[in-house]
Chain A
Amino acid sequence: MMDDIFTHAFAIAVLAAAIRIATPLIFGAIGELVAESSGILNLSIEGTMTVGAFAGFAITGETGSLWLGVAGAVFAGGLMGAIMAFMCATVKVDQIVAGLALNLFGGGLSFFLFRTVFSDQASTGMRNVGVFKVPHFWGLSDIPWVGEIVFSQQWLTYVAFLSVPLVWLFLYKTRYGLELRSVGHNPSACDMRGISVPQKQYFATIFGGMMAGLGGGFLTLSTTGLWFPELISGRGWIALAIVIFGNWRVTWILAGAVFFGFLDGLQLSLQAVGFALPYQLLLALPFVLTVVALVVNRSRSNVPLSLAIPYRRGQR
């Protein structure tokens, strides 16, 4: 059995799986980081991913085009973000309540639409709208190790990994990004300087929603082509945990997502070779580590200081 584990095939399988599994987590967590940077704690990632996945599934099913489906997932995610932004930045309701409500709303609405648009009473067959083919890069995909791990992934996986440096550049190297982060820390100071707090928060939350929608789109259009209400299976909540685990830093969030993907991929591969380690332990480890990270980082936390606190001009 040990012979099965210390093989090239095993290592390649685990590492390639880590990157695949990390993809929707990166979309969700990086989007959430931008939203939280502006002070909006958007707990509706799971519901937004569900809506995004449904939009991708439905549009691909109707048009036959996977890329139109991806566009639909992004658009639907953005709409969910816009609803969240309206509730938090305009009418300033409690962000926790709004986020949780939107989760329920997203799940219920997409299931309702699924039933009205796609299914008749008597049919029991699953509908499969198809999935993206894994692209083959001539030359690159054939390199041993690297080719199999890095250059045999879905297009959207590259988009996810590319989004990480782009978001970092945006948040830390542009004026707009600086203002956005300032809004998350000290909205009244920004307001005094003439920076529109709601405008930044709308932008950040809609962007976060679009990313989550894209993550949901990946989960249907790049994996199985199916849609069900439970499709996301808690990945939105894991993305939220990764933002905390990564201490609101882009690089650590990327590392966290890949690490979570690695643990899951390792657990699946260990089960596949029949290794006797209790795999439930590896399934629970990400959440244990998130709690540990919270404790360890308590004095050096990068949490936006005004996170989840609605900003009202002239009140404090």
Chain B
Amino acid sequence: MRTRLIKIFVLLTVLTLFAAACSSDGGTTTTEATDGATTTEATDGATTTEATDGTAEDGPTEVSIGLVLSGVKEESWVSSMLETLNRIQAESPHGMTVNYEYFESIEYADGARVIGDLAASGKYDIILGHSLFGESVAQVNDQYPDILFAFSGSGNDGNSGDNAYWIDAYTHEAAYLTGVIAGMMTKTNKISGVAAFPTPNVNAPLNGYIAGAKSVNPDVTAKVTYLESWFDPTGAKESATAQIAAGSDIIYAEREGPWEAAKQHEGVYVIGHWSDESSVAPEVILTSTLALWDPAMNFLIETWYAHEAAGTPYDAPSDRIVYSMADGGCDIAPMSDLVPADVQAKVMEVKGEIMNRELEIPLNPAPIE
């Protein structure tokens, strides 16, 4: 009997510790949100709309954004979104205070539950699932008509409408510019990429990069390794090592890790992706493709503001909301001094053509053979 009690005690202790470790993942406790899954919160939202009915000019002074993240905030896909929010916070649209809170490492299977909990808590005006959370949002958005829901990235087709918005960032134009660097700088005429899965959001920038390289150097051949994992820096480094052994001297790091392989080989350079990654390996990173979520996020905030201040109904399009490079949807990070001046000049020239819409870079989401 006594041993059984001890056993139960030990198991409970482990589970409690685990629960404690889990709940602190996101910065705030999700348990609160679960408790609030009653109807009281729903009426909260209703009262705010009533209050704003009278005076349309007196808009809200504060907007709270809840972010559901599939990874952790340092992963470049995630950090590109957080950097956007930091910029919007500083810009303060309509003089509003912009607050955001994020919840990291949420499994897709838990998406609907977590997003539902956040909505029920009544603390958030905008809830964004940053990744394949389209279906999760579609399961809960009907119950909270005053909250603006959103999800981002490819693979979310068929889930937007009403108060559920689909935003995306196309980076192929900026990636094309990094390809110009690669095409001009490669000595072996072999360039490569290390990528996650062959999905449209992954393939499109790689195809842009290859097209950019071929535009300045038709002799270039390009190979891409798919890791079949969203996050595996060790595998990414190993893939890059194999690419270097096969003769490649410029590597597009669609995922974190390849720069560690480049550091060990003379004359091999890396291009970062999603966020500016130069700080992690300044000795080998030439530049980075930047996904700028700013126009899409500003659109969401404006839409929410119009709904709150003037009662404009939510009416999300069935297609994604996405902005080209000329409209501020992507860019490249400042180029490293490792990039020769003539190459930098060529990049700025091509960038100018894209920005004034003389040059159109086609979007090609096909996997690279």
Contact = CB atoms under 8 A, between A and B. Distances in A.
Interface of A: 4, 9-10, 12-13, 17, 20-21, 86-87, 91-93, 97-98, 101-102, 104-105, 108-109, 111-112, 115-116, 119, 121-122, 124-128, 131, 134, 219, 223-226, 228-231, 233, 264-265, 268-269, 271-274, 276, 279-280, 283
A261 B237 CA distance: 14
- Count chain A CB atoms within 10 A of each CB in B21, B24, B239 and give the residue with the most: B21
B73 interface: yes
Nearest to A24: B234
A312 to B, nearest CB: 8
Given A87-B14, A126-B280, 19 more contacts: A4-B246, A17-B238, A20-B238, A92-B3, A92-B7, A97-B11, A101-B11, A108-B17, A112-B24, A115-B24, A119-B74, A124-B83, A271-B225, A271-B226, A272-B248, A274-B369, A276-B369, A279-B228, A283-B228
Contact of B245 (A9, A104, A126, A128): A9
B245 A272 contact: yes
Interface in B230-252: 230-235, 237-239, 241-243, 245-246, 248
Contacts of B369: 274, 276
Contact of A273 (B86, B239, B246, B277): B246
B241 A13 contact: yes
B246 A13 contact: yes
Interface stretch (B31-39, B256-264, B304-312, B338-346): B256-264
A91 B73 contact: no
B25 interface: yes
Contact of B239 (A108, A268, A274): A268
Contacts of A104: 18
B80 to A, nearest CB: 9
Per DSSP, are chain A's interface residues mostly helix, strand or loop, or mixed?
helix
B239 A272 contact: yes
A277 to B, nearest CB: 12
A231 B71 CA distance: 12
**Interface size class, chain B:** 35 or more
B232 A13 contact: no
Given A87-B10, A93-B10, A272-B243, A105 B17 contact: yes
B223 interface: yes
Contacts of A21: 238
Interface in B1-18: 3, 6-7, 10-11, 14-15, 17-18
